[in-house]
Every structure is written in C-alpha cells, then in structure tokens.
C-alpha cells in the first residue's frame, strides 16, 4: 500500500494548476497556436490516480492530457516545448498539445479522437496479460466518450479476457458544450460498467484523498488478477472546453459553485487542519476558520508555491529557447521504421 502524503498530492495539484495557467498565458500571448484544452478544476483526479501508478504501468490519455503527462513525470519543459512546437518537445514537435507521447515513461499518448483511448488501452492490456506481467494500464476518458462505440466494444473485450485495465472516467459533466443530461440517457456513468460485469464506483473527483484511495484499491484488485476496474470521478473544468470556447452554454453561477469546492483549496484546508482536528464535519468548519484566521501554515504553502512558480518559469524559458524541428527531422521520423529491405537478410532491389 502507498502511504498517503497529502503534501505530495497538494504539490502535484499546484504544479498541475501552474502548468496550465502558464500555458493559458502563452496562448493568450499568441505563442501557443492550435487547440489548447486545459485542466484546471480536475487536478484531484490526475493527482489522486497517478500517485498510485507504478513505473511499470501504462497511461493512455485524451487531448486534455498535459497534466496527466506532468504528473507521470514528464518534465514541464518538454511539455511546454511540445505546446510551442519545438524540437525538444516530448513528441519532437510532431504531436502538439493533444499528442504528448513518452515511451520511456510508458505514457502511450494523448488522443484527439474521442473514444480512442479505449482500444489503445485494450491493446496495451492485452500485451501485458499476454506477457503475464504484473503491470496495469490506466485509461483516462471523459463523460462524452462513453457514448462512442469503442467504449462498449472495448469494455466488453477487457472484461471477457480479464485484462488489467483501470478505466477512469473524468466526468466533468460536459462534452464540449453539451451537459450530461442532454447527451446521456444514464447520467451515472459508472452504472454502464455493470453491463460488462466490471466493478465500478462513483467517487467525488474534487476530493483528492478519496480519488487516491479508490484508485489504490482498484489497482490492487487489478494486480491481484481481478480484471478490469472502473472509476467514475465527478469533477468540473473551470475553463472552457478549449481556449477557443467562450463557455456560453453554462451559467456563471455553476462555474462559481464548483470553484468554491476547488480541489486544491479543499486539500490545503485539510492539510492545515489534520494535525489538530479530529475527522468529521468539524474538520471542514475548522478548516474554513483557519483559512479565515490565517492559520493555514501559510509559510509552508507559500514556499511550495514559490518553488512551483520557479519550476514553471525555468521550464517555459527553456522551451522558448529551444529550436524548431525541421523537415529533415520530419522525414527521419517518418522513415524511421522503413527497414523492410533487411528482412531475410537482403538489400533493396
């Protein structure tokens, strides 16, 4: 079992927030082009789930994957460089915001076609089971993805062959601008997994400790050979679907209501109070009092925030200074696998 280190989780969430806010600034300044889908509001999901992943596990993600990549251990500089289209980007500038890949860290990519993460995870899970290794595959997707055929096709096969896959639904309640009650007949996403006999539960995705605990238990069951598991993590994104989204489809009051339960603020409160408060409702109350009274171990928090700001500043500067990829590099990447002439030990005609 992992020991839960709330400071580590808080740190990861703060890094996640800082990464995305930095990216937003770069986009606003016109230095990042294309699509940019940001994660603020959903940090408890990535931090909680990925804190339970082993180095041998595989991660499959969506187009909103910068934070998954960061928390998997990909340096912020390599992520920024990819967003900026630089040679030193994690995908060599060939992928962009929606296609971060890192073979070494077993980060199998961000996918920009909704529903593609299922078959990729299915194949990775098949390969792990084929080799009889104790590894797991973590498959992220949103609530909008569960109406794609691949969701049903892949869950069926994953269950049929008991593949070691943790399906993680980041339910932020919106498929771009369509709220879940307008896109799904069954809005409790986790209930869909029962159609394939996959154990599933719904967790408050704004509560990093709850996410961490549920993920740890689910991964333990996978490693024990119990087959695929399913978590629905209810969360919310504070920003639009992408930077191009004005967000006219949802009331400002809804966004504000979720911002009041910002997962980062919740954790900060918990950290400051857990030492001197028993569990229960009083924790929440005391937490708010502490915040109001300024007892929130503010020095330590400030130091953490300064370190993270510095990390992002240096990473961004490094990425900005990097060279652009060139067409020779593009050709090289494209031709990399063309070694067919050597099959059966002979040269080209």
Nearest CB to other proteins, comparing residues 47 and 120: 120
Nearest CB to other proteins, comparing residues 327 and 349: 349
Per-residue 3-state assignment (H helix, E strand, C coil) for 66-117: HHHHHHCCCCHHHHHHHHCCCCCCCCCCCCCCCCCCECCCCEEEEECCCCCH
Distance CA 177, CA 303 (A): 38
Of 41, 48, 85, 89, the residue at the interface with other proteins (CB under 8 A) is: 89
- Contact segment (CB under 8 A) with other proteins among 1-9, 22-30, 108-116, 177-185 equals 108-116
- Residue position matching structure tokens 């928390």: 71
- What is the size of the binding site for other proteins (CB under 8 A)? 53
Q: Which SS3 state, helix, strand or coil, does residue 309 take?
A: helix
User: Looking at residue 57, what DSSP letter applies?
Assistant: -
Nearest CB to other proteins, comparing residues 129 and 166: 129
- Residue position matching structure tokens 């890094």: 15
Count of CB atoms within 10 A of residue 205's CB? 29
CB of 92 to other proteins, least distance (A): 3
Site string for other proteins, 15-54 (x = CB under 8 A): ----------------------------------------
Residues 128-157 interacting with other proteins (rule: CB under 8 A): 128-130, 149-150, 153-154, 156-157
Count of CB atoms within 10 A of residue 246's CB? 7
Of 1, 3, 30, 103, the residue at the interface with other proteins (CB under 8 A) is: 103
Q: Which SS3 state, helix, strand or coil, does residue 177 take?
A: coil
Binding site for other proteins (CB under 8 A): 58, 60, 89-95, 99, 101-103, 108-109, 111, 113, 116, 118-130, 149-150, 153-154, 156-157, 160-161, 332-334, 336-341, 343-344, 346, 348-349
């Amino acid at each position: 079992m992992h020991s839960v280190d709330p400071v580590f989780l808080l740190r990861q969430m703060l890094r996640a927030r800082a990464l995305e806010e930095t990216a937003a600034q770069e986009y606003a300044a016109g230095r990042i082009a294309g699509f940019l889908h940001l994660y603020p509001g959903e940090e408890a999901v990535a931090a909680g789930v990925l804190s339970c992943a082993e180095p041998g596990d595989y991660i499959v993600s969506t187009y909103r994957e910068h934070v998954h990549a960061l928390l998997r251990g990909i340096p912020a500089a390599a992520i920024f460089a990819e967003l900026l289209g630089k040679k030193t980007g994690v995908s060599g500038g060939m992928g962009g915001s929606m296609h971060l890949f890192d073979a070494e860290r077993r980060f199998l990519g961000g996918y920009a076609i909704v529903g593609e993460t299922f078959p990729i995870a299915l194949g990775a899970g098949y390969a792990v089971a084929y080799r009889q290794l104790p590894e797991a595959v973590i498959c992220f997707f949103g609530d909008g993805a569960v109406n794609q055929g691949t969701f049903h096709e892949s869950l069926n096969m994953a269950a049929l062959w008991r593949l070691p896959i943790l399906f993680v639904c980041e339910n932020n309640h919106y498929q771009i601008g369509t709220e879940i009650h307008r896109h799904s007949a069954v809005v409790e996403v986790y209930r869909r997994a029962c159609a394939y006999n996959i154990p599933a539960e719904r967790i408050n995705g704004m509560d990093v400790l709850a996410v961490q605990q549920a993920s740890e238990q689910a991964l333990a069951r996978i490693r024990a050979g119990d087959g695929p598991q399913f978590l629905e993590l209810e969360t919310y994104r504070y920003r639009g679907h992408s930077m191009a989204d004005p967000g006219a489809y949802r009331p400002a009051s809804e966004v504000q209501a979720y911002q009041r339960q910002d997962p980062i603020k919740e954790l900060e409160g918990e950290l400051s109070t857990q030492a001197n408060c028993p569990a229960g409702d009083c924790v929440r109350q005391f937490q708010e009092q502490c915040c109001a009274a300024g007892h929130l171990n503010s020095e330590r928090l400030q130091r953490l925030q300064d370190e993270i700001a510095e990390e992002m500043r240096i990473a961004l500067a490094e990425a900005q200074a990097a060279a652009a990829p060139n067409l020779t590099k593009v050709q090289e990447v494209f031709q990399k696998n063309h070694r067919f002439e050597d099959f059966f030990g002979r040269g080209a005609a």
